């Protein structure tokens, strides 16, 4: 099977790949792919199973990432912003995408949510007979409108939670299949830290993720409560303007990607994890990516309870959950004071995720659905 995988590279992924490339050298495109852990793991597993994969990680046409990498970062960012603002570059990228796909003649074209592909591009590809696949990890209610209007054009949507009803209501008409999230042990695993790294990343509690008021109001309030009650926490992710007037600004560390993200997880005693705001029933299946990343890194995890926890971990033995902000605070304090118990639970979670929840397991489950689509 021939799979064409396209994803628009965001600034953070590019900067992480650029830093890794400057440090280690080699093929910049490989650094770019590795910065996006999930796609790197998919590509590796698809190829291991004997399928051809064409990877297209671009956010521009006139100044693609492998050329930008040789420019000073300030100049690179300024040129990228200028080109993006004209919209001409984006239009050229869409035309180039169609041309590349048709030249390669894949069995499926795979566009994870957030790819930035235009609706007109999807329409043209469908008219040319290309099978379109999407990975959709967000409830329809929290999608950007530009992603929501694309839903009707996908022949197959993989979703890692119980999102089908919302996706149907938002316009999805293709097949929707449930595939939980997984991890890659090559990427997420315990890493030794230098004294300098431990000083930079270390904290009693770590949270990595979005905390905007639009999509994350509930978790934002929880994090603010922890800070106001004296928890030693570092917050990574989001943008400074999101936190003006919030105590989060005092502990916010900026954006973090790639290897740095793994180090930040491993430097924490407790990894705090919340799901995005969602409708009732949407998390009766599946857990978010961070649930598996924390477990794979051997980090003790406190997860805001969702009905699907028991599908993946045994509560109290492999993961600890909370519902209210008061319960969260009590359990943070308890497990910080009980290191051996914390370590035992984290070790058990790591063994469980390696045994049952890797991307090797998940990609193997994707293949039959992709083959059935191609057989139509």
Domain assignment present for 338: yes
pLDDT digits (tens, 9 = 90+) for 118-131: 999 999 999 999 99
Task: Please tell me the predicted confidence (pLDDT) of residue 12.
Answer: 67
Least confident of 51-65, 175-189, 306-320: 51-65
Task: Please give the Cα distance from 160 to 74 (Å, whole number).
Answer: 37
Domain co-membership, 176 together with 52: yes
The DSSP H or E segment spanning 204 is strand 203-208
Domain assignment present for 16: yes
Provide mean pLDDT across the span 356-369. 97
Domain assignment present for 290: yes
Q: Classify residue 217 as exposed, middle or buried by CB count within 10 Å of its CB (0-12, 13-18, 19+).
A: exposed
Return the top range by mean pLDDT from 10-19, 41-50, 79-88.
41-50
pLDDT digits (tens, 9 = 90+) for 332-343: 999 999 999 999
pLDDT digits (tens, 9 = 90+) for 139-150: 888 888 999 999
pLDDT digits (tens, 9 = 90+) for 227-245: 999 999 999 988 888 888 8
pLDDT digits (tens, 9 = 90+) for 138-192: 888 888 899 999 999 999 999 998 889 999 999 999 999 999 999 999 999 999 9
Domains identified in the chain, total number: 2
Per 3-state DSSP, the chain is made up of helix, strand and coil in percentages (nearest 5) of 50, 15, 35
Domain co-membership, 69 together with 110: yes
Domain co-membership, 48 together with 140: yes
Domain co-membership, 161 together with 228: no
C-alpha distance across the termini of the chain, in Å:
14
Q: What percent of the chain has pLDDT over 90?
A: 67
Provide mean pLDDT across the span 76-83. 70
Task: Please give the Cα distance from 20 to 32 (Å, whole number).
Answer: 9
- CATH code of 349's domain: 3.40.50.2000
Are the CB atoms for 177 and 156 separated by under 8 Å? yes
Task: Please tell me the predicted confidence (pLDDT) of residue 68.
Answer: 62
Burial 162-178 (b: 16+ CB within 10 A, else e): bbbebbeebebebebbe
Task: Please give the Cα distance from 131 to 233 (Å, whole number).
Answer: 45
Q: Is the pLDDT at 282 greater than 80, yes or no?
A: no
Domain assignment present for 190: no
Domain co-membership, 247 together with 316: yes
Domain co-membership, 221 together with 365: no
Residues with Cβ within 8 Å of residue 16, at least 6 apart in sequence:
35, 257, 258, 259, 260
Q: Is the pLDDT at 53 greater than 70, yes or no?
A: yes
Give residue 140's domain range: 2-182+359-374
Confidence band, pLDDT 50/70/90 cuts, at residue 212: confident
Task: Please tell me the predicted confidence (pLDDT) of residue 349.
Answer: 98
pLDDT digits (tens, 9 = 90+) for 13-40: 667 777 777 787 888 787 777 778 899 9
Task: Please tell me the predicted confidence (pLDDT) of residue 277.
Answer: 67
Domain co-membership, 58 together with 89: yes
Provide mean pLDDT across the span 50-77. 76
Q: Is the pLDDT at 251 greater than 80, yes or no?
A: yes
Task: Please tell me the predicted confidence (pLDDT) of residue 73.
Answer: 66
Q: Is the pLDDT at 63 greater than 80, yes or no?
A: no
């Amino acid at each position: 099977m021939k799979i064409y995988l396209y994803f628009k590279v965001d600034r953070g992924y590019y900067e992480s790949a650029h830093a890794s490339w400057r440090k280690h050298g080699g093929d910049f495109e490989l650094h770019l792919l590795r910065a996006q852990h999930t796609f790197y793991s998919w590509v590796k597993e698809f190829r291991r199973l004997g399928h051809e994969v064409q990877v297209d990680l671009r956010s521009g046409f006139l100044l693609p990432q492998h050329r930008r990498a040789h420019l000073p970062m300030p100049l690179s960012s300024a040129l990228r912003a200028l080109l993006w603002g004209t919209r001409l570059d984006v239009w050229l990228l869409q035309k180039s995408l169609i041309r590349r796909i048709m030249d390669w003649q894949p069995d499926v074209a795979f566009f994870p949510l957030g790819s930035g592909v235009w609706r007109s591009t999807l329409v043209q590809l469908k008219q040319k007979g290309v099978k379109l696949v999407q990975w959709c990890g967000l409830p329809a209610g929290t999608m950007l409108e530009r992603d929501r209007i694309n839903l009707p054009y996908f022949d197959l949507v993989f979703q890692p939670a119980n999102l089908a009803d919302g996706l149907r209501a938002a316009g999805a008409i293709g097949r929707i299949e449930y595939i939980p999230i997984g991890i890659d042990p090559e990427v997420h695993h315990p890493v030794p830290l230098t004294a300098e790294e431990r000083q930079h990343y270390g904290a009693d509690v770590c949270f990595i993720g979005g905390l905007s008021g639009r999509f994350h109001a509930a978790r934002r309030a929880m994090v603010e409560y922890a800070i106001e009650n004296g928890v030693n926490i570092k917050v990574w992710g989001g943008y400074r303007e999101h936190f003006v007037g919030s105590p989060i600004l005092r502990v916010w560390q900026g954006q973090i990607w790639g290897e740095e993200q793994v180090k930040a997880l491993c430097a924490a005693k407790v990894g705090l994890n919340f799901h995005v705001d969602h409708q009732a029933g949407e998390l009766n299946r599946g857990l978010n990516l961070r649930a598996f990343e924390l477990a794979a890194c051997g980090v003790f995890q406190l997860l805001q309870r969702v009905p699907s926890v028991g599908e993946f971990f045994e509560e109290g033995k492999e993961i600890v959950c909370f519902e209210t902000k008061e319960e969260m605070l009590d359990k943070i304090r308890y497990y910080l004071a009980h290191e051996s118990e914390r370590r035992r639970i984290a070790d058990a979670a790591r063994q469980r995720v390696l045994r049952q929840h890797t991307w090797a397991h998940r990609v193997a489950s994707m293949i039959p659905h992709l083959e059935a689509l191609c057989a139509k």
